[in-house]
Structures are given as structure tokens and as C-alpha cells.
Amino acid sequence: MLVTPHMAMREELEALADTFGRDRSALIPMLQAIQRKNGYVSDLAMQEAADILGIHPVEVHGVVSFYGFLGTEANGRFVIRMCQTVSCDMAGKDAVARQLENDLGIEFGETTKDGKFTLEWANCLGMCDQGPALLVNDKFYTKVTADQVADILDECRKAFGATALQAEKEWLV
Amino acid sequence: MIIDSSKGTLTYASQERGAGLAAALGMTPTALIEFVKESGLKGRGGAGFTTGLKWQFAAAAPAPSEAAATEAGTAKYVVCNADEGEPGTFKDRVILTDHADLVFEGMTIAGYAIGAKRGVVYLRGEYTYLVPKLKEMLRARRDEGLLGSNVMGKEGFGFDIEIRMGSGAYVCGEETALIESLEGHRGEPRNRPPFPVDTGLGGKATTVNNVETLAWVPLILSRGAEWWKSLGTERSSGLKLFSVSGDCAAPGVYEFPFGLTVADLLKAVGGGDAKAVQVGGASGTCVPAKDFGRRIAFEDLSTGGSVIVFGPQRDMLQVAKNFMEFFVEESCGQCTPCREGNEVLLEGIEMLEYGECSTSYLKELVKLGETMQIASKCGLGQSSPNAFLSIVENFRDELMGRTVAE
Ligand SMILES: Cc1cc2nc3c(=O)[nH]c(=O)nc-3n(C[C@H](O)[C@H](O)[C@H](O)COP(=O)(O)O)c2cc1C
Ligand code: SF4
Ligand code: FES
């Protein structure tokens, strides 16, 4: 039988509902899981999630649009979040930011054409004593200097595949 | 790589696992709450509400009905606020890295005190890397009978803890927004009252406590309320962790009794030449050098522990601007004073930056800031003008008549 994207998404969300439950409080964990896997929450995902939890899709959209780590646009495989808050700013975030833009060929808020990297600003990441700080997916890089940027990006490219997906498995345990 | 931030041994390090819980279970819940009240422990998340009192309110809130409570197993909730988003704060991360066991134990003790069977840790999404280790620790506690049904063999007291993640919204650290988020909604703060101790998660009585508050509880139980009261000041008893960053020789997490002066703290962290210190994060106060004799305690400079040091070369207008950009982004947009006010203040800061702000307009901005402190719905908008106002008050000479740098 032909599996439509619709059915596949439904199945995925049903499985998540089995894990997190079927009342409204399960919504955000479900959306977080979808975001992790797909890099965004599609209209289809929002419709199906709404249907399973018995709420209006507009409600789901309202939730997705509220949270910085959820989004309706496809992210790159690696989301690089650079802290822009005061301690990292004083520690020299501007040079690192510039180098990230140069090496990736994109600006903050954009995704590389190959779909590998998204570059975003973030507010205080909780690493203020060791800034400038970067969060790449779930991994922190601290005391980052501009000349380390190329190595960090290389590390990501190599992690593409097995290790990058590791964290997602642990997530659902 | 993440650098180990603890400077010196934290008192936490010597606490024996299960000792605090055993002491708690040896008392009645009422006696336990009295004990926590007696210690004077106040919330370490910033607001400084008396922990024992918060627990007392939640304990007094009627359970929906005893039968329904046991059936659903969810009569009341203990929530651990691990959303740590205040700029300059990272001590909760360090506690969760090195002493998470104490946090879980504090939650279990709170559960016994208020009559809750379930605890939830609301962990900021940025700290996802901690999850596998935290889950492993929860499993170990279950295996050892420190969680689960009949905790430590105590008949009729069952308690378990789950971890839920934030999704990148600072305002969700506000306790009612946090509850909204746990319930699957946008993290928009609620009107208070009703307070969470009365109508919290799922409409049930809920205590929300900071990571550090909960971690201190087992220690106070083991060492006694007198020990805790012998440290700190009369109105701010005990020890506090400080997250120190900025222009100093040794940034990191420090433990001090409440009541030390800003100067004492600067000496310890190697920030002797500072021209100002931000105490309490973006929503705190910017203290100029002339006031470094002020004390860090709830009765003077109140703080959740964020200390950011500004060296002699720092441009205080840029500091104010960075904080205001933070609030413009993080305001939930629900109420006008905060939504519009922060933007107007930021524009004002930009006018100052370009040397285009008249003295009378600056006065208006100050008035607006004061109005926001009163008229905003939640702590975010009520405190977002603080840094700007204290910088205007203390560093006027740096702000006025600027010429645009080429
Ligand atoms: C905008 C805003 C953000 C907050 N963020 C946090 C936070 O990240 N962690 C925290 O413990 N408390 C935070 N609080 C304070 C909580 O609302 C609440 O007072 C606290 O968790 C109570 O715990 P405590 O009594 O143990 O301090 C925040 C408050 C506001 C207004
Ligand atoms: S003060 Fe700001 S964050 Fe708080 S409810 Fe109003 S708009 Fe939202
Ligand atoms: S200021 Fe950058 S991590 Fe806190």
C-alpha cells in the first residue's frame, strides 16, 4: 500500500501520543520531538497533532509560533545558536559571529543552501563565565575564538549521520 | 567543551545521599514545614519568598478528594524551576551537573511536605545535554527506593519525578508562564491571584521552587536550622550561589553567605578595578563603584545570583542597550506597558547612542520606565526598566551629548 506523507505523519504523531499521552499537556513534548526529527513543524504535523489531541490547529500554531526552539520553516541539520547577551558580547562574540557568517556564506537567520547549517542569535545560554558561547544542536562550545570556527563546522560535517542522531534516541527513553 | 565552573568546594559536595530525606520522613509533614520555615530559607530563584510558607500554603490547599487523588496519583505537584534564563546566571546548570541528586531529594521532601505524589523538573531546552545523566540518576534513585511507591519504606508516601523541556522562552521561568507551558500552551504569565500554591498545574496546588532552593533543603535537614541561621543575615539566612561573569580574573560559581558587600565579592573574583556591577541579571540593578559597600541580601541588593562585572573601559550605554534588546525579544507581548514600553526604551537608547536625545525626552523615558515597573502584568515587564533606570541615574555623564563614532 502506498504510504502518503499524511499517513506517515499521522503514524509518527500517534506513536508520540502513545509515549506522552493524549491530553493537551502532551502537545509541547510531541512538537519538540517533531522539531528534532524534521527540523521544523509542518502544517501537516500541526493539523495531525491538533486532531489527535482534540484541539484546533490554530491553537497548535499559536504554540509553535511562541517558542524560539519551535518553528514552521525548515532548519538546517545543525542549528548554530550564538549567544548575543552581555557577558558573551564583552567576551568578543562579534568576531566569532563574523567568522561564522564568512565561513558559512550566510547571515544570521539564514540556512545554507545544502540544508546543513542554520545560523541564529540566541539569548543567554547559561555559559556566561566561558563566553563567547555557541550551542550547536545540543552541544555547547565555549570560549570560542574566530579561528576555531572552521574546526567546529568541520566537526559538525563529520558528525552528520550516526552520532548526530544518537541524541535523538536517548531523548525518548 | 564546558569548563567546570565551581570555584572552591561548594557545601553541597559533602552531603550524604538520602540523609536529608531520612530526616524529613522522620517528621510529620506539619513539623517538616515548621522546620523549613524556622530555618528562614528563602527562594533562590530571585523573588526570595519564604520556602516553608509556600509549602504551607500548598499543603493547606484541599486535595480534590482523597479518593480521586490516589486514583489519579496527581493531587498536587512539586515543580522544580530549572529554566535558568536570567542573563548572567549559570549556577543551576552547575548544581544540575554536580549535585542533581540533592535537587531530586529536595523535590521528594517537598512532595512529602505538601502531600504531592508527582514532581516535574522544567529544564530549559538549552540544557538538553544534561537529560541523559539526569534520567540515569532518577533511575538510580528509583532502584534504591528513594523514589517510587513507599519512598524509603515510608508506608503511603509515593513520589516520582519527570523531566520536561522548555523551548527557548525566557518568560517561561516565570512560574505561571511555566505552568502554562507545562499544560501545552503559549508561555504567557497568568494574573495572580490565584497563586500556583492554590491553583497550579492542571488546576491543582503546586509549589514552584528554584533548583538551588530545593538543593539546599536536604542540607538544612541534615545540619539543622541553627546551622543555616548562623550563616547570612537575619532576613537572608544561609548560603547562596553566585554566577559571576564579565570583567574579572576568575569568573565562575561561588558560594557565599548572604550579606557580603559587592566589594567583598569583587575581591574574591578578581574584579577590583570594576566601574560597575550588575546584580540580579538583566532584570537586576546596575551598581556603580561608589555603592560597592552595599550588601547582597534580600534586604538590600536582592538577586537570584547573577553578578556581571563591568571593567573601567566598558560603555554603560551599550550595556543598557544589550539588556533592552533582550527584553524586547523576550517580552511575551501580552500586556501593553511591557510590549510597547521596552521598544520605546530601546529606541530611546539608540537616540542616546547617536547623540539625538534631549534632556526632557530622557526624563520622559525615565517616567515611562517607572510606569512599566508598576503597570506591567508580570515580573518581566516590572523589572525590565531597572538596568536602564540605574544606568541613567549613575552614568548620565556617559549618556548625554554623545557624538557618533565614525
Ligand atoms: C521573567 C521571569 C523569569 C524567571 N525565571 C526564573 C528562572 O529561570 N528560574 C527560577 O527559579 N525562577 C525564575 N523566576 C522566578 C519564578 O517566577 C519563581 O518566583 C521562582 O521559581 C520561585 O522559586 P523560589 O521561591 O525557590 O525562588 C522568573 C521570574 C520572572 C518574572
Ligand atoms: S509584563 Fe511582559 S512578559 Fe509579563 S505578561 Fe506583560 S508582556 Fe508578558
Ligand atoms: S551571556 Fe552568553 S551564555 Fe550567558
CA–CA separation, B41 vs B237, rounded Å?
A: 6
Query: What is the per-residue pLDDT across B203-216, written as a single tens digit (0 to 9) for each?
Result: 999 999 999 999 99
10 Å CB burial of residue A151 (0-12, 13-18, 19+) is exposed
Q: How far away, in angstroms, is B95 Cα from ligand 2 center? A: 29
Distance, in Å, from the CA atom of A72 to the CA atom of A39, rounded to the nearest integer, reads: 9
Q: How far is CA A146 from the centre of its chain?
A: 23
Please report the pLDDT score of residue A172 as a whole number.
Answer: 43
B309 CA distance to ligand 3 centroid (A)?
13
Q: What is the CATH number of domain A78-168?
A: 3.40.30.10
Beta bridge partners of A41: none
- Residue B288 CA, ligand 3 centroid: distance in Å: 22
**pLDDT attached to residue B349:** 98
Rounded to whole angstroms, how far apart are CA atoms A64 and B185?
Answer: 9
Ligand nearest to the CA of B87: 3
Instruction: Extract the residue ranges of chain A whose pLDDT is less than 50.
Output: 162, 165-173
Q: Tell me which chain A residue has its CA closest to the CA of residue B244.
A: A129
Mutation test of ligand 2: which of B378, B382, B384 has the most ligand atoms closer than 8 Å to its C-beta?
A: B378
B197 CA → ligand 1 middle, Å? 14
- In this prediction the pTM is 0.96
Cβ within 8 Å, pair B308-A67: no
User: Is there a contact between B308 and A128 if contact means CB atoms under 8 Å apart?
Assistant: yes
Give the range among B74-78, B105-109, B279-283, B284-288 with minimum mean pLDDT: B74-78
B191, pLDDT greater than 50: yes
For residue B146, pLDDT beyond 90: yes
Across the A/B interface, how many CB contacts are shorter than 8 Å? 138
Question: CATH second-level architecture of A5-66?
Answer: Orthogonal Bundle (1.10)
What are phi and psi for residue A87, nearest 5 degrees? -65, -40
**How high does pLDDT run on average in chain B?**
95
- How much of chain B exceeds pLDDT 90, in percent? 91
Give the span between the Cα atoms of B130 and A102, in whole angstroms: 31
* CA-closest candidate to residue A80, choices A170, A162, A173, A148: A148
Q: In this structure, are residues B106 and B119 in contact, taking their beta carbons and an 8 Å threshold?
A: no
The domains found in chain B, sorted by start residue, are 19-229 (3.40.50.11540), 239-310 (3.10.20.600), 316-404 (1.20.1440.230)
pLDDT for position B71: 46
Give the integer Cα–Cα distance in Å for B84 and A137: 18
CB within 8 Å of chain A, chain B residues 67-86: 84-86
Q: What are the boundaries of each domain within chain A?
A: 5-66, 78-168
Measured between alpha carbons, how far is B306 from B170 in angstroms, rounded to an integer?
15
Check pocket membership of B82 for ligand 1, CB cut-off 6 A. Answer: no
Give the pLDDT of residue B63. 62
Best mutation site among A22, A27, A80, A87 for testing chain B: the one with the most B CBs within 10 Å?
Answer: A87
Question: Residue A52's pLDDT is what?
Answer: 97
- The predicted structure's pLDDT at residue B74: 52
Q: Is B334 in the pocket of ligand 2 (CB under 6 A)?
A: yes
pLDDT score of B70 more than 70: no
Q: Over 70: is that where the pLDDT of B235 sits?
A: yes
Does the Cβ of B84 fall within 6 Å of ligand 1? yes
Q: Which residues does B359 contact at the CB level (< 8 Å), separation at least 6?
A: B400
Of residues B128, B169, B252, nearest to A68 (C-beta):
B169
What mean pLDDT comes out for the span B225-252?
97
Q: What is the pLDDT of residues B364-394, one digit of tens each?
A: 999 999 999 999 999 999 999 999 999 999 9
B85·A171 Cβ contact <8 A = no
Residue A69 pLDDT? 97
* Rounded distance between C-alpha atoms, residue B268 and residue B262, angstroms: 10
Nearest residue in chain A measured CA to CA from B172:
A67
Q: What is the identity of the amino acid at A101? A: E
Q: What is the pLDDT of residue A97?
A: 98
- What integer pLDDT is reported at residue A5 of this predicted model? 86
The answer to whether domain A5-66 and domain A78-168 are alike in fold is: no
- What distance in Å separates the CA atoms of residue A74 and residue A60, rounded to the nearest whole number? 17
Calpha distance B44→B208 (Å, rounded): 11
Would the CB atoms of A128 and B252 count as touching at under 8 Å? no
Q: Which residue has the higher pLDDT, B63 or B312?
A: B312
Residues of A in contact with B332 (CB under 8 A): 66
Contact (CB<8Å) B3/A126 = no
Our answer on whether the CB atom of B378 is closer than 6 Å to any ligand 2 atom is yes
Q: What is the pLDDT of residue B301?
A: 95
Q: State the Cα–Cα distance between residues B264 and B33, nearest whole angstrom.
A: 34
Chain A, nearest residue to B326 by Cα = A123
- CA A48, A52, A55, A61 dihedral sign is negative
CA quadruple A154, A157, A160, A162: dihedral sign: negative
* pLDDT score for B405: 61
Q: How far apart are CA B201 and CA B236, in angstroms?
A: 29
> Residue B306 above 60 pLDDT?
yes
